Amino acid sequence: MRAVVQRVTSAACRVDGDTTGEIGPGLLVFLGVGQGDDAEDAAWLARKIAALRVFEDDQGRMNRSLVDSEGGALVISQFTLFGNVKKGARPSFNKSAPPDEANDLFERFKALLATDLGKPVASGVFAADMKIEAHNDGPVTLVIDTRQRDF
């Protein structure tokens, strides 16, 4: 699994003009599921994101997690995170998981993150044409890949 995580002051997802998910301060998570990803990857990634210390403490240092800051999480499915541009100019998405498998792991990830945070997680709609509005904070943006855990 691959995630692009952005610290935001607010973020929202809209599908066909309807808001499907919205948060105030917290993390916007774009989540891609690749071939071979499994439930253990979803659990590891949910724990990692819940514990990321990217929020400022009283001394202005990034020392507080999403749990500590009581922030929200908005999770957006994004198969394009597995786009391969090695050959040519048109991305290949053959390393993305098949839609049914990807949706199952997307839903599992959201449930695990909600458990780790102790509250519901907002989200987009899997495979929908989504419009994302984000107010980046910092900006702080991290890329996390379950296959490159030392990155």
Give mean pLDDT, residues 62-83. 96
* Residue 10 placed within a domain: yes
| Banded pLDDT at 80 (limits 50, 70, 90) | very high
pLDDT in tens, 21-56: 999 999 999 999 999 999 999 999 999 999 999 999
Distance separating alpha carbons of residues 91 and 80, to the nearest angstrom: 8
Q: Is 26 exposed, middle or buried (0-12, 13-18, 19+ CB in 10 A)?
A: buried
Among candidates 115, 82, 63, which has minimal Cα distance to 3? 82
Please give the residue range of the domain that contains residue 82. Answer: 2-144
pLDDT in tens, 83-141: 999 998 999 999 999 999 999 999 999 999 999 999 999 999 999 999 999 999 999 99
- Comparing CA positions, the residue from 108, 128, 115, 133 lying closest to residue 28 is 133
Residue 130 resides in a domain:
yes
Q: Which residues pair with 7 in a beta bridge?
A: 27
Query: H or E stretch including 102?
Result: helix 99-117
In this predicted structure, the answer to whether residue 79 has a pLDDT above a threshold of 70 is yes
pTM assigned to the model = 0.95
Considering the domain boundaries, does residue 128 fall inside one?
yes
Q: Residue 54: which CATH number?
A: 3.50.80.10
Tell me if residue 141 is catalytic. Answer: no
135 within 8 A of 9, measured Cβ to Cβ: yes
Residue 151 pLDDT exceeds 80: no
- Return d(Cα 81, Cα 17) in angstroms, integer: 24
Mean pLDDT of the chain: 96
Q: Length of the chain, please?
A: 151
SS3 48: helix
Taking only the tens place, the pLDDT of each residue in 8-17 is: 999 999 999 9
Residue 150 reports pLDDT greater than 80: no
CA 106, 110, 112, 115: dihedral to nearest 10 degrees? -170
| Active-site entry in 20, 80, 115, 141 | 80
Q: How many domains would you assign to the chain?
A: 1
Contact 96, 103 (CB under 8 A): no
